Structure 1
Amino acid sequence: MPRDGNATRERILGVAERLVTDQGYSATSVDQVIAEAGSSKGAFFHHFSSKTDLAVQLVARYVAADLAHLDAGLAATAHITDPAARVVAFIRHYEDGADELMAEQSGCLYATVLAEREFTGGEINDQVAKATRVWRDAVADLLRAALATRRPDTDIDVGALADHLYTTFEGGFILCRTYADRSAMRAQLRVYRQLVEALLRI
């Protein structure tokens, strides 16, 4: 029977994501990824031309999952007709799922790879920036609609407020590691929701 090459590729990517997230890109070797994935050099280089190519594909995979995470929140709140209620429910969607998120991953791949100087301004940086802008635009649209109904005279920077959700996620990952407490993510998302509620006077 022919081997499932896609399953091998996914196994390598899964192991690589865990290793890179936990210990950093520079500290993760191809040999370590191969060994922990139970693969071979031949199989690795069949799917990835180099360690850098692995990083590019790894980030592309992470971006797809991240944007699916955004789509899930939008879909879960699409039935809510009141804009203010919807944006609050959207944030609460991630707040309620924070413990599960932290059980699945120990950190954010974005922050890990962007800490590497060699990726600054390159393809990986572009992938992360594009995904972040998709989040920013979607959240800003929700916030703008909500503010129009509750605070039409406000001068709040909606884009910056939308970006603050991104920084809340990133900061939450750091706090979870700092305190060795997975609930820190949920606490930070709760504070962000409360901030938005206060701005909307809910």
Structure 2
Amino acid sequence: MPRDSTITRERILQAAERLVLEYGFGSTTVDGVVAASGTSKGAFFHHFTGKDDLARALVARIAAADHRVLAAALDAVAHLTEPKPRLLAFLAYFEELAGTVTAEESGCLYISVLTERQLIDTGTADQIVAVVHAWRHAVTELIQAAFHGRPATGIDAERLADHFFVTFEGAYLLSRATGKPHLAAQLRVMRLMLTSMLG
């Protein structure tokens, strides 16, 4: 694809993301995206078949970024041969990145998609589910290794992995809403909790 066409597509995606985050998907129109991106309807329909296709492209871009973040975190702790320090270092990795992560818009875009019945029905939300499953799988493996299978408290490792995800996303939203560093604080609480559980 020619470079100028790629740039146009990216401009459309960036404009659409801003509008969806500000007004929601239902209130975002093709005309609005075209105007905000400074392109034309012809350019829009060259890259996207319609609003649903645009939504899938937006989610795919954010989901790919989330997969890269997870991969980077796993790579950062891969050198640790002992499973307990590796799990705790994985959590600490995100504590250190909390300020950068809070500035990102992925969580807000996911919420916009998940609250739109139309997008769920067309399968757009499936990409978000895939991200959740990827995180669950990776964190479950870290937890199982650290606890040699089942956590000593009897908590299922997969549920504990989900708790990490819920803590991360909830603290992210709290940070965005209040402008305060709740994400780092809540991730630290979880790390200290797991440290205690690990003895």
Identity of aligned residues (%): 48
TM superposition score normalised by structure 2: 0.90
SS at match of 2:176: helix
TM superposition score normalised by structure 1: 0.89
Which residue is 2:17 aligned to?
Answer: 17
Instruction: Return 5+ residue gaps in structure 1 as ranges.
Output: none
RMSD, aligned CA = 2.0
Which residue is 1:197 aligned to?
Answer: 195
Higher relative contact order (CA 8 A, sep 6+): 1
Write the distance in 1 (CA, Å) between the matches of 2:87 and 2:34.
43
SS at match of 1:97: helix
Which residue is 1:32 aligned to?
Answer: 32
Instruction: Indicate if the aligned counterparts of 1:21 and 1:106 stay in contact, CA closer than 8 A.
Output: no
Instruction: Indicate if the aligned counterparts of 1:22 and 1:107 stay in contact, CA closer than 8 A.
Output: no
Instruction: Indicate if the aligned counterparts of 2:25 and 2:113 stay in contact, CA closer than 8 A.
Output: yes
Which residue is 2:134 aligned to?
Answer: 134
Which residue is 1:104 aligned to?
Answer: 104
One-letter amino acid of the structure 1 residue matched with residue 185 of structure 2 = A
Write the distance in 1 (CA, Å) between the matches of 2:115 and 2:141.
30
Q: 1:78 to 1:106 in 2, by over 3 A?
A: closer
Write the distance in 1 (CA, Å) between the matches of 2:106 and 2:126.
23
One-letter amino acid of the structure 1 residue matched with residue 64 of structure 2 = A
Which residue is 2:67 aligned to?
Answer: 67
Which residue is 1:157 aligned to?
Answer: 156
Write the distance in 2 (CA, Å) between the matches of 1:95 and 1:21.
25
Write the distance in 2 (CA, Å) between the matches of 1:26 and 1:176.
26
Write the distance in 2 (CA, Å) between the matches of 1:188 and 1:67.
22
One-letter amino acid of the structure 1 residue matched with residue 82 of structure 2 = D
| Cα distance per residue 1:13-32 (max 9 Å; x no partner) | 12222332333211222222
| Cα distance, 1:91 vs structure 2 | 1.1
Instruction: Indicate if the aligned counterparts of 2:52 and 2:119 stay in contact, CA closer than 8 A.
Output: no
Within-5 A mapping of 1:50-129: 50-105=50-105, 107-129=107-129
Write the distance in 1 (CA, Å) between the matches of 2:183 and 2:151.
31
| Cα distance, 1:39 vs structure 2 | 1.5
Instruction: Return 5+ residue gaps in structure 2 as ranges.
Output: none
- Tell me whether 47-56 or 186-195 shows the greater mean CA deviation: 186-195
Q: How many residues align?
A: 198
One-letter amino acid of the structure 1 residue matched with residue 192 of structure 2 = Q
SS at match of 2:125: helix
Write the distance in 1 (CA, Å) between the matches of 2:190 and 2:116.
29
Which residue is 1:174 aligned to?
Answer: 173
Write the distance in 1 (CA, Å) between the matches of 2:141 and 2:106.
30
| Cα distance per residue 1:132-174 (max 9 Å; x no partner) | 111100010001000118x765422111111112212221232
